[in-house]
Amino acid sequence: MTASRPRKSYDGVVLAVPVAVPYERYSIESAHWWIGRALRTLADGAGISHREFDGFAVSSFTMGPDAAIALTQHFGLTPRWLDHLPMGGASGIVSIRRAARAVQAGDVNIVACVAADTNQVDTFRKTLASFSRFAQDASYPYGAGGPNASFALIARAYMDRYGATREDFGKLCVAQRDNALRYPHALMKKPLTLEQYMSARPIAEPFHLFDCVMPCAGAEAFLVMREETAVSLGLPFVRLLSAIERHNAFPDDAVQTRGGWVMDRDELYGMASLTPDDIDFVQTYDDYPVISMMQFEDLGFCGKGEGPDFVRQHTFTIDGSFPHNTSGGQLSVGQAGAAGGHLGIVEAMRQLLGAAGGTQVADVKVGLVSGFGMINYDRGLASAAAILARQSA
């Protein structure tokens, strides 16, 4: 096997203009409408025309039959760099990595990274039916219509192996709801108690109602550029210190109990010259709380199998220990399809820019955001993570 070369740093790459188009439970609009809203808000935030975005990266489950190339005409873009990222919750970080290398090489100046999905009355069922070839052939025809059953399998295997309980998962859900009450765009507006979590109706054992995200419509977006470009536009920015991605990690595991983060986390921290103890807040991809717990382990905040004890030792609230999913995450904000993979990035940017309003964590300098996506029957195929730092860090 050929020895790998040390990866080039991301010096000089920054992210600017975090955008969240407020979510709606249902929408009569198309995914294109939501993408257009995001592009317009990015342009307004940058103080330039959207036609000056010479790079465009888009992720969406519901913009078919169009791909990214069709959207260039739809929105009057003329990019010299284009990417379509069908990786679900990992797409946001993957788009950062690809855009970062493109701006470093001078192939592009400003990349608009956008994720959006609509949620019409029948959208979710149609998405499930056509999610993947595996879903069409091996799960959907037999009644396993969606991620709840697949992640329930993963959760049960994790619980049996490492001793996690529903109360542990519930603590994460309750903490995220507490955070979401401070975020004006969260769709979940009511407090959640552990008792309410435990007594909620079952969905797919061991999951009950509040373990599962609520599908909705919405968009998240941001810009990737070189630091000198941001300075010339007068834009506040955050620095990209490191980023990793890995796909189909540990294929021999019978059921997923770890993700691809494990394979590259030393490089994640090494590129940033940091350790897990240096991270001020974490935004994990939280389609289900068991996946957040898995990420705490796989990203090095505790050892494998120590996730339950780690959860018992921390509050995960904005003002408490180990601030986590400070906007409320998908479990309380909602899951706007592929935009769920950009939600944590946009919130991390707001935190580091000091622009998070009610969800602001005090004195933050460095944050970690992770992504996870594309579930087949027994595992998610894509894992990614990035470390971001405030402008003066």
pLDDT in tens, 180-229: 999 999 999 999 999 999 999 999 999 999 999 999 999 999 999 999 99
Q: Which CATH architecture has domain 147-215+238-390?
A: 3-Layer(aba) Sandwich (3.40)
Q: With 0-12 CB in 10 A as exposed, 13-18 as middle and 19+ as buried, what is 45? A: middle
* Residues present in the chain in total: 393
pTM confidence score: 0.95
Residue in 48, 35, 21 with CA at minimum distance from that of residue 235: 48
Residue 67, both tokens:
């791909």
Instruction: Please list the ranges in the chain whose pLDDT falls under 70.
Output: 1-4, 121-136, 138-145, 393
C-beta of residue 108 within 8 angstroms of C-beta of residue 102: yes
Return d(Cα 221, Cα 82) in angstroms, integer: 15
Residue 132: predicted pLDDT: 66
Residue in 377, 196, 166, 205 with CA at minimum distance from that of residue 289: 166
C-beta of residue 339 within 8 angstroms of C-beta of residue 116: yes
Return d(Cα 253, Cα 249) in angstroms, integer: 9
Would you give the DSSP letter of residue 210?
G
Residue in 245, 252, 253, 246 with CA at minimum distance from that of residue 154: 253
Residue 368, both tokens:
């970690």
Pairing of strands 110-117, 207-208: unpaired
Residue 38: predicted pLDDT: 98
Q: Please state which CATH number belongs to domain 13-122+217-233.
A: 3.40.47.10
Q: What is the pLDDT of residues 235-294, one digit of tens each?
A: 999 999 999 999 999 999 999 999 999 999 999 999 999 999 999 999 999 999 999 999
Residue 159, both tokens:
């619980």
DSSP assignment of 282-314: EE---SSHHHHHHHHHHTTSS-TT-HHHHHHH-
Start-to-end CA distance of the chain, whole Å, equals 38
- 300 SS3 class: coil
Domains 13-122+217-233 and 147-215+238-390 share a fold: yes
Can you give the residue ranges of every domain in the chain? 13-122+217-233, 147-215+238-390
Pairing of strands 281-283, 238-247: unpaired
C-beta of residue 216 within 8 angstroms of C-beta of residue 336: yes
> What residue type is assigned to position 100 of the chain?
A
